[in-house]
Amino acid sequence: MSGLGGLNKTTGGIVIAAVQSQLLSVKTPEELAKATQHVCALVRQTKTAYPHTDLILFPEYCIHGLSMAIDDSIMCTLDGPEIAAFKKVCKEQSVWGVFSIMEKNELGNPWNSGITINDKGEIVDYYRKMHPWIPVEPWYPGNRGVSVFEGPGGVQMSLIICHDGMFPEMAREAAYKGAEVLLRTAGYTSPIKQSWEITNRSNAFCNLMFTVSIALAGTDGTLRSMGQAMFVGPEGSILEQGDGTADGIFACEIQVDEVRKKRREWGVENNLYQFGHRGYVAVKGGAGDCPYTYMQDLMKGEYKQVEDADVGIKDGQVFGYAAPATEFVSEMKQ
């Protein structure tokens, strides 16, 4: 099922490599430049070790580390030297790459952004993290929604980042928009290991899709990230799994036709379809209403859980951030 861990590729398959890149301490422009070159070297190393690789997935914070610094001097732009280096190495190695940057934002705090570059060195997808890991992370919440793009081999893909994957709505949105492979990048540390596996597997099974997930690994002298690369098939089975090795590379062949057949031919547990066609055995076409109060309230801007008034932490002051004064601005079409 995995092509001997990505060493082989057969007709209709693509090989994805997930790199558990070293957690680095990055606080200066010089350290940012050094981290960028480290990631580029890992692209070359991956293609040498796994020549059939079509796409290389790097973790969230792969060049910024976990300092959560918002110093403008180490924030990136889409036309900056970091993205230029990633474009160059992808073209040089004829491989797709998914990279993480903390990006300057004129609206307020920086974005936590994921950039997908094709084998010609072109940006094909640009995603802003929807759910920063609050109250720890200071990033402005993503305002472009979940995107789906055509990856290598014509495979439909979507990228989400770290905490995004803890919300089942994120994976469902990606699948609903056609994603056959859900990519998830993270900087998580070891306490999240169990929920990481649970959500990677459930996101795959509940949407009949592949999930490919990767976190940073190693230590920066203070924090220690967990690694734990994971490839999960559409029935929720783990196909390949990493460990805690810093700069460890794990690969897997994915046969996306498995997703396409299941979504079209399955009856039992074809949940992506059945979610919007409740009880089609009993009623013609199934019920297509929205009986979910939280969805209705979100649409009205009135989301309020039962315990809302009792929630004790509602901003980042517990982690030393000032109470925010910035309003949210969305780029989504209303």
pTM for this predicted structure = 0.97
What pLDDT is recorded for position 323? 95
Domain membership of residue 308 (yes or no) is no
Q: Does residue 120 fall inside a structural domain?
A: yes
Which stretches of 62-110 are assigned E, i.e. beta strand?
96-103
pLDDT in tens, 63-117: 999 999 999 999 999 999 999 999 999 999 999 999 999 999 999 999 999 999 9
- Asked if residue 101 lies in contact with residue 113, where contact means CB atoms within 8 angstroms, the answer is yes
* Three-state secondary-structure class, residue 117: strand
Quote the pLDDT of residue 5: 87
Q: 301 in a domain, yes or no?
A: no
Domain count within the chain: 1
Per DSSP, the residues of 229-286 read -EEE-TTS-EEEE--S-TTEEEEEEEETHHHHHHHHH--TT-HHHHTTSBTTTTSTT-
CATH number for the domain spanning 192: value is: 3.60.110.10
pLDDT in the model for residue 334: 45
Cβ distance 158 to 254 under 8 Å? no
What does each C-alpha distance from 197 to 98, 207, 213, 241 come to in angstroms?
Answer: 21, 16, 9, 10
pLDDT of residue 1: 61
Q: What's the pLDDT tens digit per position in 193-211?
A: 999 999 999 999 999 999 9
Residue among 9, 47, 87, 129 flagged as catalytic:
129
Token match 């169990």: residue? 194
Is 304 an annotated catalytic residue?
no
Residue range(s) defining the domain that contains residue 94: 3-270
State the pLDDT at residue 4. 85
Task: Confirm whether 103 is a catalytic residue.
Answer: no
Please tell me the distance from the alpha carbon of residue 190 to that of residue 268, in angstroms, as a whole number: 35
User: Which entry of 40, 60, 253, 258 is annotated as an active-site residue?
Assistant: 60
Residue 79 in tokens:
């036309």
Give the sign of the dihedral formed by CA 36, CA 37, CA 38, CA 41.
positive
Distance CA 312, CA 67 (A): 25
Residues 137-161, mean pLDDT to the nearest whole number: 98
Question: Would you say residue 93 lies in a domain?
Answer: yes
Strands 156-161, 181-186: pairing is parallel
Structure tokens at 170: 């994120």
Measured CA to CA, the distance from residue 117 to residue 125 in angstroms comes to 7
Nearest 5°: the CA angle 244, 248, 250 is 105
Residue tagged active-site, from 76, 162, 206, 252: 162
pLDDT value of residue 333:
58
Determine whether 60 is an active site residue. yes
> Residues 6 or more apart from 35 whose CB is under 8 A from it?
24, 26, 62, 63, 64, 65
| Residue 298 resides in a domain | no
What is the share, in percent, of the chain residues with pLDDT greater than 90? 96
In a domain, 14, yes or no: yes
Q: Distance between CA 316 and CA 16 in Å, rounded?
A: 36
145 belongs to a structural domain = yes
- 177 inside domain: yes
What CA–CA distances, in Å, run from 334 to 145, 179, 204, 244, 288? 12, 22, 29, 43, 22
What does the pLDDT average to over 130-153?
97
